[in-house]
Structure 1
């Protein structure tokens, strides 16, 4: 308040209240006293009867009020002194008693008014100070109210105030946004009316605060609000009382913070921690973590498995407790240095196993830093490197040996001329081998060409003989003549069939030599195969030949045709028996082998690398150089005309070469023979299930089906169609691809396409199969061919997913093959699994494959979309029937992937896997029936249930 605005009195009060410096006060007091004295002297001269002290008492009051008590006392002293000096003399020459009494009265009155003025001054100054304090308090209160109002309206949390009837009094804008109702509509309405889904959870806390006055903090609630009906949200709520001046509770305040995202993050973090803990437990390494100071706080179960020490619950046994005593000092010094510097730790050391032995480990640890760059945690692993250390020591010893060999080699430089001569001789031998290989290739082409037409003829012969046999009456009748005739017909037909079968075997041998026979290669354990042949070999070789097997430990596997390899070994064993006329010993040995570049350069079509070796040795008469050079030629034999065809070794040669391997003969006259087979090592991949064994004739009854038979040989086609019709099938005949496609255009819908690969001019069998699959993706395809150089097989190997019936075939084989294919369950289709966690993808893939699906895994959204586009464009692929998409991917959100998949394949059903609340994810897709949602982590039962909801019945159900 401005006192000067109240006029002269206010100005005077302001002069009194304001503090003044001492010099100013004495100057003002002196001026006032001087004015009072001058007026007194002047009035005495003008008005004889004027009281001398009339104006001095007001001067004292003014000085005391304005200048303070000190100045007032000084003014009294001055005025009393001057008045005493001016006292008039009495008649007797002294001071008149009346004047002295008047001075005394003036002095007493001066002190009285001085005291009154001092009291008034003090009171006025206190009143002014109190007034200023009131003004400051009012200003501060206004500022506080404004601040609280701004905080209430703009706070990042929701505020609400309730009366005793639990009705809203006031809410801020944040709470209005949380519940989706304007703030002005809350006043006077009850909690049950505004938020029915949360009222039951909030009301007990409001009543408790009203009753007890306590503060209830951090209560978690969950439910839906009008802002997002149906969406489950999470809130952190606190309650506090609002009291009146009498300490009575008239209101309850509520603070609301939405923590939906935080709960989702906590759930995601928990799921992530669980995933990585599972991964750490699944690793074959010993994994551990420690604090920044190096104190361990987690060890996976591999430690307990290796050390045999189980720590008590809540405790750990530090990794360095198992160090070898000789290395403990150095290792711990390096570990403490890493802890001090924050640099990664790496050290090779030995750890004690539960049996007391020590093994070498590579122990590593890396620091993880926080935002400020400080080490927050250490992550460590210990990898068993005992074999590497042993190999390293062996290599060190080998290097020493090599140095000695190099020194010895240096001494052999003088023999360079001799070595050059040997190289010339080797070149001549290589040229001879090349000419021999060219000759063998030419013969192979000839036999392959003959075999095709020959096999067609043999098939016709065998089939007609079988048909004739079926038409001979089973009951010969009553007459003896008819019985004899029937028996003769059967005997002649049997001879004809045996001859045709022998011709077929001869053809297969020709094809084997020429590397044209279709093969069915599978991963093979050669040791097991040789062991399984032991009984058959002893039966075939007789008692005079002793059979010995030397099988290598840790033998690699090879991918080979089981039957053909058995035939090759049996062929070599029989040849060895014939070479040991007086008996002897046959040795079959297996080994791992590496053929280097120098060796492979000397032989045709041989790549350096790792091979599985099979050595077949005998103690027979051996071969001369001339015989050994021609041993693999077809029809070459040293036996008599009735003792062999000369195709045994050529068949072995062709089979091994066709399989990508190599065969060599080592023999000298009188010293026996060794035949070495080298088969390529199989690079191991996840094992595939073994194919089901072929069914016997009695099991080949299949449901009637429609078969499209395409064969350019009229007789063979007619015979095969008749056989399949007898088996109960409907057969559509076509002489070439054009006729077959015309049948499809006229509405034919075959269950199986049976086609020769070679169909003359125009489209071949493979092209026809692709076109049929494009039009009818579920149609099965069975090829037939006489030999393997065609579009179905590559270097004698069937493409994955192809079925082949090799010519010549019997009619029973045809029926068995067709019925077997029709009985096979069709593949349920392909699934696109979009998952960036390898461990989760591995588990989910196994579940889906067990349910009969073919699985393609994509770790990024773009990769998944690219695969879907390619699958849509390539009709030859397995049909894409389902997608399973993780909601959190590295490059885009899973819901965006689902949306874009819908644009590529609108009818494709989708399962969304999420670590968040499934209600929120379901809300994203608007209740689409072709979208299912499952929570992570999930197990097989959860995934199968989701498949069933989308219409995919579990495997094994109808």
Structure 2
């Protein structure tokens, strides 16, 4: 038991007095029934600034504001406490120095054993800081509401956990057409198209936001009037302090104008591309027409002279036969260049040692460019072999050397460089259709005049040339471009006016230890007497078919002919014996490759010759790798055709 001075035990009343006087965070004091202060603890003195001597005997109403005193608030508080047994409220109170503080007040009536009111107990706490924090929060919320409501270019609203709308800003009303009273409580999926709702798109967005914290997308949304707009949408998950999902914040922006502008830009680009393509096609067809009309004139004129001389009995026609043959050869070369550009020339890729190839061509290149140009080769010692058509690589090198010579009319230096290079995924992605991997880079650089940007941009276009009329077809670089792409590589040009030109040819590395392709049958220059055998000729062009059939029959072969794949399959399904199938690749309907595949299934040992005006190796690789199969490119001399037939029939 607590004791006082001298060890005297404290009375209950004294202990209570000590307790009250030790409380400093609460003002605890007593009033008589009329509101006169009768006691005063240190907490009151700290809150209100009065000492006990200054305030005991004074009316407690002096702590209230003037307005509250005039309104009778102190008396009403005592009356409520007396009648209801308690009064509790918050309000402004005044300190001795006149400053105010926000007080939480409790007044309890005090009664004696007989129930007579003998006074009041009053407890006051200073909660000004809490009041200020609440007011700051309210002001912040009010400002935020004003901010959200003031935003008219964005729809900003909230959803509950199931997707129902819980509030709505003016931007949402402006964008979607619904007033707040029309839409709050409705499910947000009503803004989506019927197709999106059927596919569950709205709830997928909520699930993604719940799982990852955020969902962002673009898509068509509906207004109240049924019209559509293209929306940029962000949905954020809202969680309480314990991490529990309480709803979603949804921000939508109408970006229809931007989408329409993008679509218009794409349409403009497409139209520009189409215009450029049509210009290139026009230039291409014009170039083809110009060159082929010249060739047809030479061939037709030669035939007319031959026909006249045969009719009049004049026998000197060899010069005109030679002229016609020369024109045919030129037409063949022109066609091959066109096919190279379109990546449809028949290639014969093989393992090629680039160092050996360049060294073997050096003398020819030096003679071609002349003495005024110094030729230098820089080939890596361990240069990788390439997988490409060696003849096409040689043609490309010579073509680039001639171009370099023309760009250095007063002499200069031509550098041929070869290095190994590995293209990673990023580097390969810069060129459409190019795969990552090992490549051999063959670079031909000159110190010539260079190309201006407008010429460089069109360098690969067929028939585009800066040379005077009649001094170039404009197919050289386009042929190299097509050959490189068809070979699985690509070509790039760097050029600057006055600083020369560099053409870089990237060709895939060969991983074959040796060139394992089958050794082609040697074709003699002149046809031998054919071995007796039966040949099926499938060709849809009547004149070509007639020439092939007649030539074979003249040599004593038994010939069957078909004008399309269906007729060929009928013959192949018959019991007649066939030793060799000669078929055009580009037959209408059932292609030559399909005819050959069926023929192989019916007659596994059948020998096959493909004839083609163009070919994609990727399509014919399977047949080309099969035994007893050859591919001949049109136009082919009849003598060479007969020699190949001879060789095929004689082979085991």
TM-score w.r.t. structure 2 length? 0.52
Q: Note closer, same or farther for the CA distance 1:504–1:636 as it changes in structure 2 (3 Å cut).
A: same
Question: Is 2:504 aligned against 1:676?
Answer: yes
Q: In the superposition, relative to structure 1, how do residues 608 and 622 fare at CA in structure 2: closer, same or farther (>3 Å)?
A: same
Q: How far off is 1:819 after superposition?
A: 1.9
SS in 1 for 2:413: strand
1:432 CA drift (Å): 9.7
Cα distance change of structure 1 residues 766 and 432 upon mapping to structure 2, 3 Å threshold: same
Q: Residue 776 of structure 1 aligns with which residue? A: 603
Asked if 1:563 corresponds to 2:388, the answer is no
How far has the Cα of 1:726 moved from its partner? 2.3
Select the structure of larger CA radius of gyration: 1
Q: CA deviation at 1:710?
A: 0.5
- How far the C-alpha of 1:792 sits from its partner, in A, is 4.3
Name the residue aligned to 2:337: 509
1:735 Cα deviation after fit: 0.8
1:805 aligns with 2:632: yes
Give the structure 2 partner of residue 602 of structure 1.
430
2:540 to 693, 712, 717: 712
Shift of 1:731: 1.4
2:525 aligned partner: 697
Partner of 1:301: none
Long gaps (5+) in structure 2: 1-264
Corresponding residue for 2:641?
Answer: 814
Counterpart of 1:530? 358
Report if aligned partners of 1:616, 1:674 keep a CA contact under 8 Å in 2: yes
Report deviation, 1:814.
1.2
Kindly tell me: are residues 686 and 545 of structure 1, through their superposed partners in 2, closer, same or farther at Cα, counting changes over 3 Å?
A: closer
In structure 2, relative to structure 1, the CA distance for the partners of 1:659 and 1:705 (3 Å cut) is: same
1:760 is matched with which residue? Answer: 588
Q: Distance in 2 between matches of 1:516 and 1:552?
A: 32
The 1:536–1:790 alpha-carbon spacing in structure 2 relative to 1, beyond 3 Å, is closer
**How many angstroms does 1:725 deviate by?**
1.9
2:519 and 2:561 map into 1 onto residues whose CA distance is 30
Corresponding residue SS for 1:696: coil
Contact 1:664–1:675 (8 Å) recurs in 2 = yes
Secondary structure, counterpart of 1:553 in structure 2: coil
Query: In the alignment, which residue of structure 1 is the partner of 2:482?
Result: 654
SS in 2 for 1:769: helix
> Residue 591 and residue 466 in structure 1: after superposition, are their counterparts in 2 closer, same or farther (change >3 A)?
farther
Q: Is 1:749 aligned with 2:577? A: yes
Distance 1:572 1:550 in 2: 16
Counterpart-to-counterpart distance in 1, 2:305 and 2:530: 25
| Matched-pair contact (CA < 8 Å) for 1:545–1:585 | yes
Distance in 1, Cα, partners of 2:395 & 2:415: 17
Which aligned pairs between 1:778-927 and structure 2 lie closer than 5 A? 778-789=605-616, 792-793=619-620, 801=627, 802-825=629-652
Q: 1:590 aligned to 402, 418, 426, which one?
A: 418
Q: Which has the higher helix share?
A: 1
1:585/1:618 contact within 8 Å kept? yes
Q: Which structure 2 residues correspond to residues 406-421 of structure 1 after superposition, within 5 A?
A: none
CA distance in structure 2 between the aligned counterparts of 1:596 and 1:527, rounded to whole angstroms: 25
1 or 2 for the larger relative contact order (CA 8 Å, sep ≥6)?
2
User: Alignment partner for residue 486 of structure 1, among 303, 315, 327?
Assistant: 315
Contact 2:491–2:506 (Cα < 8 Å) also in 1: yes
Relative to structure 1, the CA distance from residue 443 to residue 805 in structure 2 (aligned partners, 3 Å threshold; closer, same or farther) is: farther
> Deviations for 1:879-903, whole angstroms, at most 9, x for unmatched residues?
xxxxxxxxxxxxxxxxxxxxxxxxx
Q: Contact conserved, 1:614 with 1:676, CA < 8 A, in 2? A: yes
1:627 deviates by 1.0
Question: Within the alignment, does 1:639 sit opposite 2:467 as a pair?
Answer: yes
- The answer for the alignment partner of 1:617 in structure 2 is 445
The answer to whether the 8 A contact 2:299-2:323 is kept is no
Instruction: Report SS of the residue matched to 1:697.
Output: coil
- CA deviations on 1:194-243 (whole Å, 9 max, x unpaired) are xxxxxxxxxxxxxxxxxxxxxxxxxxxxxxxxxxxxxxxxxxxxxxxxxx
Q: Is the 8 A contact 2:379 2:419 kept in 1?
A: yes
CA 1:688–1:654: 2 relative to 1, 3 Å: same
Contact 1:613/1:677, CA 8 A, preserved across alignment = yes
Alignment of 1:112-127 (within 5 A): none
Deviation at 1:575, TM superposition (A): 0.6
The DSSP-based 3-state class of the residue aligned with 1:743 is helix
Counterpart among 528, 534, 552 of residue 380 in structure 2: 552
Report the CA distance between 1:680 and its aligned residue: 0.9
Contact (CA 8 Å) 2:283, 2:463: kept in 1 or not? no
CA RMSD in angstroms comes to 4.1
Cα deviation, residue 622, structure 1: 1.0
- 1:366-405 to 2 correspondence within 5 Å? none
Aligned-partner SS, 1:809: coil
* Equivalent-residue separation in structure 1 for 2:618 and 2:505 (angstroms): 28
Structure 1 residue 552 displacement after superposition: 1.1
Work out the CA distance in 2 between the residues paired with 1:661 and 1:756. Answer: 29
Give the 3-state SS of the residue equivalent to 2:471 in structure 1: coil
Matches within 5 A, 1:245-394: none
Q: Over residues 537-560 of structure 1, what are the superposed CA-to-partner deviations in whole Å (9 max), with x where a residue is unaligned?
A: 223223222222112111111111
Give the Cα–Cα distance (whole angstroms) in 1 for the partners of residues 344 and 281 of structure 2: 8
Query: Is residue 713–residue 735 contact of structure 1 (8 Å, CA) maintained in 2?
Result: yes
Q: CA deviation at 1:642?
A: 1.1
Superposition deviation, residue 586 in structure 1: 1.4
Question: Which ranges in structure 1 are unaligned for 5 or more consecutive residues?
Answer: 1-427, 826-958
Q: Distance in 2 between matches of 1:462 and 1:620?
A: 39
Give, in whole Å, the separation in 2 of the partners of 1:540 and 1:678. 24
Q: Which of 815-824 and 563-572 deviates more?
A: 815-824
Q: Does the CA contact (< 8 Å) of 1:444 and 1:514 recur in 2? A: no
Q: Which of the pair is proportionally richer in strand?
A: 2
The 3 A distance-change label for structure 1 pair 784 and 513 is same
1:729 corresponds to which residue? 557
**Aligned to 2:315, what secondary structure does the other structure show?**
helix
Q: C-alpha displacement at 1:659, in angstroms?
A: 0.5
Query: d(CA) in 1 for partners of 2:645 and 2:512?
Result: 32
Report the alpha carbon displacement of residue 440 of structure 1 after superposing the two structures with TM: 7.1
Whole-Å separation in 1 of the counterparts to 2:378 and 2:337: 29
Task: Indicate how the Cα distance of structure 1 residues 766 and 561 shifts in structure 2: closer, same or farther if over 3 A, else same.
Answer: same
Given that 2:337 and 2:476 are in contact with CA atoms closer than 8 Å, whether structure 1 keeps it comes out as yes
The structure-2 alpha-carbon separation of the partners of 1:723 and 1:516, relative to structure 1 and needing over 3 Å to count, comes to same
